[in-house]
Chain A
Amino acid sequence: MIPTLIMISMIAFVIIQLPPGDYLTTKIAQLQAQDELINEDLIEALREQYGLDKPIYVQYGKWIWNILHGDFGFSWEWQKPVKDVIGERILLTAIISFTATFFIYVISIPVGIFSATHKYSVGDYIITLIAFIGLALPNFLLALLLLFAGYVFFDTSLTGLFSAEFANVSWSGAKVLDLLKHLWLPVVVIGTTSTAGRIRIMRGNLLDELNKPYVVTARAKGLSETKLLLKYPVRMALNPLISGLSVLLPHLVSGATITSVVLSLPTTGPMLLGALRSQDVYLGGAFILLLSTLTVISTLLSDILLAWADPRIQYE
């Protein structure tokens, strides 16, 4: 995991360094053009702190060194340390992604089981149809369509994560409740595609499992259908789903980024976009690094979960 993180940090750094020119110079030129006062001391200090006149690997070293000491750099756009700008946004992204994960599994597992046990019934066909459409609806299009529908049919704007009165106040019980009220839309938007996919996987796995000889034997022995189902086949069919968690989370974080732009959520998406557009490199770099770290950690979590769910893995 550590080597992975190191590689990721390198890639993140290279990406934010890709645009030509060093951003301080650009910024100074801009400020000069606008005849604004330049804080020479601050610029000198920053140049020194981030080693901007040094080769790239020194810059990278300084960047990482500062991050390890809790300093993510300075955001030019916001005129604040990056740390102060992103904390809450990363948290909200994590909340949305994890809620979406929960949503995905809570819906897809029972629906998948139903679909498999009622193979080729009307219900199964409807589920299959919906699942296929869900699969073809990428989250930002779904967000767009839902916004459109909300506006046309209910005449409300479904954007944001908080009601206006809570948007800029500090955290409180009421604010959390307000968040929960708004959370469902991004969660549904982000989760739909993956839910659809997992319904299909669950259905397929369970059908494979149900065709195996041991199920036939158990059925012949007169075991009740529910017991028979839950005892082994469902558990076996769940394994690929759990191991799929490690692919799911990067996917969700990814989806959350763009969905939040469409839905104007106060999460990472819009800010990352802004940072990339204005070449606010440390802000952009911090986002890319933290989002990737989030997914690496979640991969680790899914491995642990898998080991817990499937005892065979531990032996190896």
Chain B
Amino acid sequence: MRLFKARENIAKQEKEKYFVATPRQLMWWKFKKHKLAVVALYVLLLMYFLAVFAEFVSPYNIHVRHTRYLYSPPQKIHFFYNDKFHLQPVVYKLKFRIDSITLKEIYYEVPEEVYPVKLFCRGERYKWWGLFETDIHLFGVKPGGTIFLLGTDRMGRDMLSRIISGSRISLSIGLIGVSLSFIFGLILGGISGYFGGTTDIIIQRIIEVLRSFPTIPLWMGLSAALPMTWSPLKVYFAITVILSLLGWTGVARAVRGRFLTLREEDFAMAAYLAGASKWRIIYKHLLPSFLSHIIVTITLRIPGMILGETALSYLGLGLRPPITSWGVLLKECQNVQDIAHHPWLILTVVFIILTILSFNFIGDGLRDAADPYAT
């Protein structure tokens, strides 16, 4: 009987927890039920972690050319060497010989020369976000050895480091671009939905026109107009703005639609009749009710932004070296024969797809969670 009482008590507490759960908690509980979305969330958190700590996580500086290792294939990490299993992983020394016919380097590993992979290893000096200087990297090997886990490019630059560093640009363009779209969309959609009438009609018209534009040609036209003399940072922001120029229309539409339905909602009317001001009704009643839906919309828009940057840079209209973004990296893959001979160059695509897939799954999970009160 005591046991039963205890169980009953726990059930009661659980219930009370549910009854006083804030909307955010309810959404999180619902989101957690979507397993793929949760996995995707962790994948993305990892990606953004890598992007933030790029210099620390990458073993090499992205601009340093290892001239003796052009087009080196990915090196493997070995736990089994000297005929025994070891806890300490190592990489083998990488050497090459010139093929007598094609005159190309052929790389081979020398299992006799092992280099232990060390955590928090000293390597090239770098300034993290230009803030403080150090030479500690997450992992690396002693000088003399190399660790090119994803190979090197035609100039002998470490691909893994370049991809990680590129993610900083590509992933942040997605976030900043979407934030800009979000702000534009929220303001214009809100104005449109709240004031209605002529304002609404004009804004709707503009949205209609922008939406009937094929995105890529428009983006191409705009980015082609960026002066070649601009600094990389300026180009980066300009491209972000260009990408969000069309993105806001979707947000504005969603906001307006929600606004119109919610404005008719009884609880908004109740607040109005109680004497609440317009602003209070908007930020206390309307915004929280549709914010979650808007977040879904914009989450699903981030992939488009990331791909926009990738596509533009791939075409040579977007970011240009020395900026390293995923699109800039892909630009190196324009020649099919190149990729066929050095297939690791295309590994950037794996990172892009993983990111896009993750955003899609998260968006899916958020959509389910967006309205925690739906039955």
Determine whether A and B are in direct contact in the complex, meaning some CB atoms lie less than 8 angstroms apart: yes
8 Å CB contacts to B: which residues of A272-302? 272-273, 276-277, 279, 284, 287-288, 291-292, 295-296, 299
A residues less than 8 Å from B361 (CB atoms): 132
A residues less than 8 Å from B227 (CB atoms): 19-20
Interface string of B212-229 (1 = CB under 8 A from A): 111111101110110100
Partner of B213, one of A11, A138, A141, A279: A11
Q: Does A223 contact B (CB under 8 A)?
A: no
A267–B337 Cα gap in the complex (Å)? Answer: 23
B residues less than 8 Å from A284 (CB atoms): 221, 224
Are A250 and B315 in touch, CB under 8 angstroms?
no
Are A152 and B214 in touch, CB under 8 angstroms?
no
A residues less than 8 Å from B218 (CB atoms): 11, 15, 288
Partner of B215, one of A8, A133, A250, A276: A250
Known pairs A247-B211, A273-B317, A276-B224; A136 contacts B356 (CB<8 A): yes
Are B217 and A288 in touch, CB under 8 angstroms?
yes
Are A136 and B357 in touch, CB under 8 angstroms?
yes
Are B224 and A277 in touch, CB under 8 angstroms?
yes
8 Å CB contacts to B: which residues of A1-25? 3-4, 7-8, 11-12, 15-16, 18-20
Interface string of B87-121 (1 = CB under 8 A from A): 00000000000000000000000000000000000
Chain A nearest CB: distance from B85 CB in Å?
34
Partner of A254, one of B214, B343, B357: B214
Are B217 and A254 in touch, CB under 8 angstroms?
yes
Q: Does A114 contact B (CB under 8 A)?
A: no
Are B353 and A137 in touch, CB under 8 angstroms?
yes
Are B220 and A295 in touch, CB under 8 angstroms?
no
Q: Does A304 contact B (CB under 8 A)?
A: no
8 Å CB contacts to A: which residues of B295-317? 303, 307, 310-311, 314-317
A-B contact count (CB 8 A): 129
Are B356 and A138 in touch, CB under 8 angstroms?
yes
Chain A nearest CB: distance from B151 CB in Å?
16
8 Å CB contacts to A: which residues of B218-254? 218, 220-222, 224-225, 227
Q: Does A258 contact B (CB under 8 A)?
A: yes
Are B314 and A140 in touch, CB under 8 angstroms?
yes
A34–B259 Cα gap in the complex (Å)? Answer: 62
Are A138 and B222 in touch, CB under 8 angstroms?
no
Are A8 and B212 in touch, CB under 8 angstroms?
yes
B residues less than 8 Å from A273 (CB atoms): 220, 315, 317
Are B216 and A295 in touch, CB under 8 angstroms?
no
Q: Does A157 contact B (CB under 8 A)?
A: yes
Known pairs A19-B225, A140-B314; A257 contacts B217 (CB<8 A): yes
Q: Does B208 contact A (CB under 8 A)?
A: yes
B residues less than 8 Å from A157 (CB atoms): 336
Give the secondary structure class of B's interface: helix
Partner of B214, one of A253, A262, A276: A253
Q: What range describes how many residues of B lie at the interface?
A: 35 or more
Known pairs A138-B307, A138-B311, A148-B346; A295 contacts B333 (CB<8 A): no
Q: What range describes how many residues of A lie at the interface?
A: 35 or more
Partner of A258, one of B205, B216, B224, B303: B216
Q: Does A67 contact B (CB under 8 A)?
A: no
Partner of A132, one of B211, B336, B340, B357: B357
B residues less than 8 Å from A7 (CB atoms): 205-206, 209
Chain B nearest CB: distance from A98 CB in Å?
14
Chain B nearest CB: distance from A293 CB in Å?
9
Q: Does B349 contact A (CB under 8 A)?
A: yes
B residues less than 8 Å from A148 (CB atoms): 336, 339-340, 343, 346
A83–B224 Cα gap in the complex (Å)? Answer: 22
Q: Does B319 contact A (CB under 8 A)?
A: no
Give the secondary structure class of A's interface: helix
- Chain B residue nearest in CB terms to A268: B217
A295–B336 Cα gap in the complex (Å)? Answer: 32
Chain A nearest CB: distance from B346 CB in Å?
6
Q: Which of B220, B336, B357 has the most CB of A within 10 A?
A: B220
Q: Does B152 contact A (CB under 8 A)?
A: no
8 Å CB contacts to A: which residues of B318-340? 330, 333, 336-337, 339-340
Partner of A295, one of B213, B307, B314, B343: B213
Partner of B222, one of A4, A15, A141: A15
A276–B227 Cα gap in the complex (Å)? Answer: 12
A152–B353 Cα gap in the complex (Å)? Answer: 21
A135–B316 Cα gap in the complex (Å)? Answer: 25
Are A4 and B214 in touch, CB under 8 angstroms?
no
Are B209 and A291 in touch, CB under 8 angstroms?
no
Are A147 and B336 in touch, CB under 8 angstroms?
yes
* Residues of A that sit less than 8 Å from B by CB: 3-4, 7-8, 11-12, 15-16, 18-20, 132-133, 135-138, 140-141, 144-145, 147-148, 151-152, 157, 247, 250-251, 253-255, 257-258, 261-262, 268, 272-273, 276-277, 279, 284, 287-288, 291-292, 295-296, 299
List 8 extra interface pairs beyond A277-B316, A287-B217, A288-B221, CB under 8 A: A7-B205, A141-B353, A148-B340, A250-B212, A257-B220, A273-B315, A292-B212, A295-B212
**Interface pairs A-B: 9 shortest CB-CB:** A18-B225, A276-B224, A254-B214, A15-B221, A136-B357, A136-B356, A254-B216, A253-B214, A7-B209
17 contacts between A and B (CB under 8 A): A4-B205, A7-B205, A8-B213, A15-B221, A18-B225, A19-B224, A132-B360, A137-B353, A138-B310, A140-B311, A148-B339, A250-B211, A250-B213, A254-B215, A255-B216, A257-B214, A257-B217
